[in-house]
Amino acid sequence: MSIPADSLAIRQDGAFVLLVSDRPSERTALERAISFVIDCRAAGPDAAGLAGRPVFALLDLAPPALKTWLRKLDERMPSIPRLALVRGEPETPSRNTQFLSAGSPRKVVLSHAFAMIEAATQTASHRAQRLQDRTRSAKILVADLFDSVALGGSVDHGELDRGTETVLSAISESGISAWLAELWRHDAGVYEHTLSVAGFCAAFGTRIGLSKADLARLARSALLHDIGKSRIPKSILDKPGRLDANEERLMRRHPEMGAAFLTAQGGFAPEVIDVVLHHHERLDGTGYPNRLKGPEIKDLVRIVAICDVFSALTERRSYRQPATPAEALAIMVETQGHLDPDLLGAFAPAMLACEPLAA
């Protein structure tokens, strides 16, 4: 079969199509044809996982398996367009799924597939550019925020609201994995950590069904949680190795410094200041600065604490390799008494999935 020359424009670095079929010969033929224009990763119906994020999925399966895979995609990758080859009665197309008879000629199947792949890759390209713009904007905003406080200025509430919306929009459209990949592409420091924690909070808060207002409050708190570090000398913040005892004591003052600054400026909700002051507290009372225990630690603080620890464990450090998400979660689970076990139980599968939350 010949492939139209203009279809070669579909190919993009890193982009791939997921093909799942229970007909080996048809799977091989479809994979070969699709591979002419874009990377194609083929699997059988019993494939265990979904590695990476395809731009498009082609499903050629018997009815029970087809429903299972559509549900799996809806749960993990709701915005991924897919073409499903049905055996039996035709189904009504949904927002992201088109249906075609499995008995259709292969050239018809490929024609539909190529048209959907081309549209999907164009959308992915635009999404990637928006993510780059949002990440760049967020980094500048957080840098300005920290610099202003370091120089004795104030936090601009309008800019803080803009930063909150930027994070929420980026996570909703592109997902936490893409946000982190773009965020940590070049730099590794306090600003990136702040935006990493904010991203995790946005992703996790959405997964557990927080209201729009609570989600914005959570993301805003995350953007400010380390604002006290703007008063810590850069020589300590940027030290390539571990801190000595005196440096550690000074670093541990950043929650009180941050909370005191926000309280003095005024205009910040008490729960936001609570996060800034208490995000290093632990349920068993071993945290700082006030050694709070159990119910003394509010839910918003507990969520930020989990995201803060997970982010720290998985970030690059000059003195150690970053932990994988699975390794970080194992460490967090084994450190009993520190983090809320119920929230951690909900956090773990959400972070292992690490996929976009909305179209």
The alpha carbon of 329 is separated from its chain's Cα centroid by a whole number of angstroms, namely 15
Six token digits for residue 47:
């494939």
Q: How far apart are CA 283 and CA 302, in angstroms?
A: 9
pLDDT 10s digit of each residue in the chain, 359 long?
A: 333 334 344 445 578 999 999 999 999 999 999 998 899 999 999 887 666 778 899 999 999 999 999 988 887 777 789 999 999 877 777 778 999 999 999 999 999 999 999 888 887 778 888 898 999 999 999 999 999 999 999 999 999 999 999 999 999 888 888 898 888 876 667 889 999 999 999 999 988 889 999 999 999 999 999 999 999 998 888 887 888 999 999 999 999 999 999 999 999 999 999 999 999 999 999 999 999 999 999 999 999 999 999 999 998 776 678 888 889 999 999 998 999 999 999 998 877 755 443 33
Cα–Cα distance, 34 to 41 (Å, whole number): 10
> Which CA distances in Å does 324 have to 114, 299, 313, 318, 353?
35, 26, 8, 16, 13
Q: How far apart are alpha carbons 319 and 144 in whole angstroms?
A: 28
Q: pTM for this structure?
A: 0.73
For the chain, list the domains and their CATH numbers: 5-122 (3.40.50.2300), 154-353 (1.10.3210.10)
Strand partners, 99: 84
Handedness of CA 289, 293, 298, 304 (dihedral sign): positive
> Which of 166, 176, 216 is CA-nearest to residue 357?
176
Residues in the chain: 359
What's the Cα-to-Cα distance from 125 to each of 12, 57, 132, 178, rounded to whole Å?
A: 9, 17, 11, 13
Round to whole Å and give the CA distance between 40 and 33. Answer: 9
